[in-house]
Amino acid sequence: MKQIGILIDLLFPILDNSIWGYIKSNLSRHYQPLRDDVRYKERCGRVSTVVQTPVEFEKFYLYGSTLCLNALLDIFTFQPIRALVALFYILIRPSCIIHGMRERLTASQICDVVKIFVFILCCCIVRHFDLSVMYHLFRGKAIFNLLVLQSITDLVDALISGLGADIWDSLCWKLTQPPERRSAYFGVWLHLLLTIVYILSHTVVILLQITALTVALNSHDKLVFTIVLSSNLVEIKTNMYRRIDRNYLFYIACLDIKERFHHSLLLFIVSMKIMTDVGWNPDYLLVIVPDALWILCFEIVADWVKLAFVAKFNKISFHEYHQYRLTLATDMKSCREKLAATDYTDVVSRRIGLNVLPMGCVLVLGFCESFNISGIVGLGFLTLIFLGLFVMHIVSGTLLRRYENWLLSNTKADDIIEIYPDTDSQMIPPLEKLRPQINKDE
């Protein structure tokens, strides 16, 4: 028996390393994930981040896009009214002209008058642009040319947006300075000229985007899907494996809000132009609307994939999007104070990146080319449109205020952390100073 035991001991390593031993070890393998509880909890957290990030971003997008819509409506509704009130105030008080406008008008009224003046002037200049000439210039071009045009216009749009915000802030600051301090920098007229040149340049860039999108939509092989898909894939690849912190993620999320809102407006203008070309035949809606929805779906899915995996690879919690909403709400609340340093539309331009003046010029041009407005009927039509925009502005503004009051009143002051600080961060007071205003609004 002893010899048999010795023989088994000698043969056991051989059997264990044989095919039979390999099969036996795989059939009887045991492991317990609970032995590495920390690592598996981290994996579950990453899965939760990928799943929850799109949901939280859509909440952030809904709030941000409503801010963009409200800021865009303001240039057509309340700002012209405020400018007219300021001009009427000058007319009924001749001493304002004699002693200087700044002695009677507030800084915000001066900025409103100049903004509406620049906006109307740029709209009159843009009115002479012909979209059909630009369309036939790019019609029939190869898909590579359209891809290059789309890439260049997107890049220029991103670069010029930040510059435009700086130019407008400089102009507003220069307008409200005492005369003895203006000589230290460029003059007011030079700043005004730079503002007009910027708005016209940005408007041309947006018109080129509209032209490329119109050509792609009208093509028989649906080039628009190739352009949008390639653009989204490049965007995902660019941001997927970059080292990103929570502040830069806030910048990316705000940029995605601006891009989706921007593309939605472009699709609206392009659809309106195509319907005008076909005589507003309702049958063409069955062709245009599905294509536009597919483009928006591509944008949404690309944003979800990009933000979800960026958060996963950089270990950023999806709870950060709640903090991002708090940051925007704090910005908006501070701008509605009586002694605010900037208008809330300028904060939207600075934080999210949407400049409403060039987009407003494009909307005016698209509307003028799509509808023939003349006579009493045209005046009545414009009045109805103004009333509709006015009601939309009031409803969206009221909802935004209620949401901001609710969001900030249910948040402790210590929970709000300054996100993505820039030149506007010094204008934002702490939440404790906003508490009386929040309670007053409620």
192-209 pLDDT, tens digit per residue, is: 899 999 999 999 999 988
The confidence score (pLDDT) of residue 439 equals 47
For residue 325 the two structure tokens come to 């909403």
The confidence score (pLDDT) of residue 242 equals 78
User: Rounded to an integer, what distance in angstroms lies between the CA atom of residue 210 and that of residue 268?
Assistant: 10
At position 340, the amino acid (one-letter code) is: A
Write the pLDDT tens digit of every residue in 15-70. Answer: 555 666 666 666 666 666 556 566 767 777 778 888 899 999 999 999 999 999 99
Residue 102 contacts residue 188 (beta carbons within 8 Å): no
Residues 6+ apart with CB under 8 A from 342: 169, 172, 335, 424, 427
User: Rounded to an integer, what distance in angstroms lies between the CA atom of residue 261 and that of residue 149?
Assistant: 20
User: Rounded to an integer, what distance in angstroms lies between the CA atom of residue 144 and that of residue 151?
Assistant: 11
The confidence score (pLDDT) of residue 424 equals 42
DSSP states along 85-150: HHHHHHHT-HHHHHH-GGGTS-HHHHHHHHHHHHHHHHHHHHTT--HHHHHHHHTT--HHHHHHHH
Residue 356 contacts residue 349 (beta carbons within 8 Å): yes
User: Rounded to an integer, what distance in angstroms lies between the CA atom of residue 355 and that of residue 195?
Assistant: 12
Q: Which stretches in the chain have pLDDT values below 50?
A: 10, 101-102, 420-442
The DSSP symbol for 179 reads: G
Residue 111 contacts residue 342 (beta carbons within 8 Å): no
Helix ranges (H only) for 28-36 are: none
For residue 308 the two structure tokens come to 């979800």
User: Rounded to an integer, what distance in angstroms lies between the CA atom of residue 100 and that of residue 67?
Assistant: 35
- C-alpha dist (Å) from residue 92 to 85, 103, 375: 11, 15, 31
Helices and strands in the chain: count of H runs, count of E runs: 17, 0
Domain range summary for the chain, segments of one domain joined by +: 55-441
- C-alpha dist (Å) from residue 377 to 276, 372, 373: 19, 10, 8
Residue 364 contacts residue 93 (beta carbons within 8 Å): no
At position 258, the amino acid (one-letter code) is: K
At position 405, the amino acid (one-letter code) is: N
Nearest Cα to Cα of residue 350 among 424, 411, 257: 424
Residue 113 contacts residue 86 (beta carbons within 8 Å): yes
Q: Cα dihedral sign for 93, 95, 96, 98?
A: positive
Helix ranges (H only) for 179-245 are: 188-218, 223-240
In terms of C-beta density within 10 A (0-12 exposed, 13-18 middle, 19 or more buried), how is residue 275 classed? middle
Helix (H) or strand (E) holding 423: none
Give Cα 413 distance to the centre of its chain.
27
